[in-house]
C-alpha cells in the first residue's frame, strides 16, 4: 500500500449502515476515497488494512444487495 493511500485511509470518514444498530459487533464500514475508490473495513479490526475497490465494484455490490442476490 502506498504512503499516500495509507494517509488517505487514516483520514477517511468511515461510516456504517444506519440499520447496523449499536450492538457493537460484526459490521462493515465504508469510506469514499479519491480516484473513484471505496474503502471497506471491519469495525472489529479497524487497525487491519481495509479492502479498497473501484466505485463501480462497490456500486455493483450494493445493487446486488438491494436485489436480494446475497440473501440466504
Cell of 66: 438491494
Tally of domains within the chain: 1
* Residue whose C-alpha is closest to residue 66's, from 29, 1, 13, 17: 17
CB-based contact 65:53 (threshold 8 Å): no
Mean pLDDT to the nearest integer, 38-50: 89
For 24-33, how does the pLDDT look when each residue is reduced to its tens digit (9 = 90+)? Answer: 567 889 999 9
- Say whether pLDDT at 58 is over 90: yes
| 16 within domain boundaries | no
| 21 within domain boundaries | no
Residue 16: the pLDDT is 85
Question: How confident is residue 8, by pLDDT bands cut at 50, 70 and 90?
Answer: very high
User: Which class for 47: exposed (0-12), middle (13-18), buried (19 or more C-beta within 10 A)?
Assistant: exposed
The 8-class DSSP code of residue 35 comes to G
- Say whether pLDDT at 15 is over 70: yes
| % of the chain residues with pLDDT over 70 | 89
| 60 within domain boundaries | yes
Amino acid at each position: 500500500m502506498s504512503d499516500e493511500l495509507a494517509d488517505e485511509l487514516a483520514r477517511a470518514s468511515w461510516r456504517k449502515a444506519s440499520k447496523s444498530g449499536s450492538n457493537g459487533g460484526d459490521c462493515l464500514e465504508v469510506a469514499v476515497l479519491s480516484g473513484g475508490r471505496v474503502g471497506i473495513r471491519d469495525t472489529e479490526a479497524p487497525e487491519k488494512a481495509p479492502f479498497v475497490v473501484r466505485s463501480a465494484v462497490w456500486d455493483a455490490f450494493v445493487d446486488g444487495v438491494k436485489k436480494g442476490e446475497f440473501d440466504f
